[in-house]
């Protein structure tokens, strides 16, 4: 069997665990696990919580907008929204005066559910960012945005 041609890594790394992509995925997996555990106590999934947050900030969003904002497919967003609607946490118009997108809004119960869950999620983020010096947070956020833009653009 022939040796594989070696491709140099984009930066010095002894193994896969030292690559930026691996570390980002590891951090995302840790965040998702912590959120899953915390949100379970509020009978919510991470995608459901994300939808509630977006609808609180942007009432009247459409399925497509929520799917983009929560990083799921439109089909997955439909399943998430059906669960939220069945739980009485959102309402969706049955018709609209313009366009085809049907606006979605939080119900009073949805707002209460979100506010109860938000404290648990914010505590997780506080624990996560508390592990780095506060002076570096702005730089970290800017670096993450730069990496995203480098891959999207």
CATH number for the domain harbouring residue 74: 1.10.10.10
Question: What pLDDT is recorded for position 102?
Answer: 76
Question: What pLDDT is recorded for position 96?
Answer: 65
Cβ atoms within 10 Å, residue 117: 21
Question: What pLDDT is recorded for position 24?
Answer: 95
Question: What pLDDT is recorded for position 140?
Answer: 96
Structural domain boundaries, residue 86: 17-152
Query: pLDDT digit of tens for each residue in the chain (153 aa)?
Result: 455 568 777 888 888 888 999 999 999 999 999 999 999 999 999 999 999 999 999 999 999 999 999 999 999 999 999 999 999 999 987 766 665 677 999 999 999 999 999 999 999 999 999 999 999 999 999 999 999 999 996
Q: How many domains does the chain have?
A: 1
Q: What is the pLDDT of residues 29-47, one digit of tens each?
A: 999 999 999 999 999 999 9
70 within a domain of the structure (yes/no): yes
6 within a domain of the structure (yes/no): no
Q: Which of 61-67's residues contact partners 24+ apart within 8 Å by CB, and which partners? A: 61/103, 61/104, 62/101, 62/102, 62/103, 62/104, 63/101, 63/102, 63/104, 64/101, 65/101, 66/104
7 within a domain of the structure (yes/no): no
8 within a domain of the structure (yes/no): no
């Amino acid at each position: 069997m022939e040796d594989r041609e070696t491709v140099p890594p984009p930066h010095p790394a002894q193994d896969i665990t030292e690559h930026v992509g691996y570390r980002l995925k590891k951090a995302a997996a840790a965040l998702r696990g912590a959120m899953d555990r915390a949100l379970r106590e509020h009978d919510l999934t991470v995608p459901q919580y994300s939808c509630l947050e977006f609808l609180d900030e942007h009432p009247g969003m459409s399925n497509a907008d929520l799917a983009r904002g929560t990083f799921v497919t439109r089909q997955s967003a439909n399943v998430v929204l059906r669960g939220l609607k069945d739980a009485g946490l959102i309402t969706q118009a049955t018709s609209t005066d313009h366009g085809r997108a049907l606006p979605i809004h939080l119900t009073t119960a949805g707002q209460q559910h979100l506010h109860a869950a938000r404290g648990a999620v914010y505590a997780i983020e506080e624990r996560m960012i508390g592990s780095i010096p506060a002076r570096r947070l702005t730089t970290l956020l800017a670096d993450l945005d730069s990496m995203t833009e480098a891959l999207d653009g």
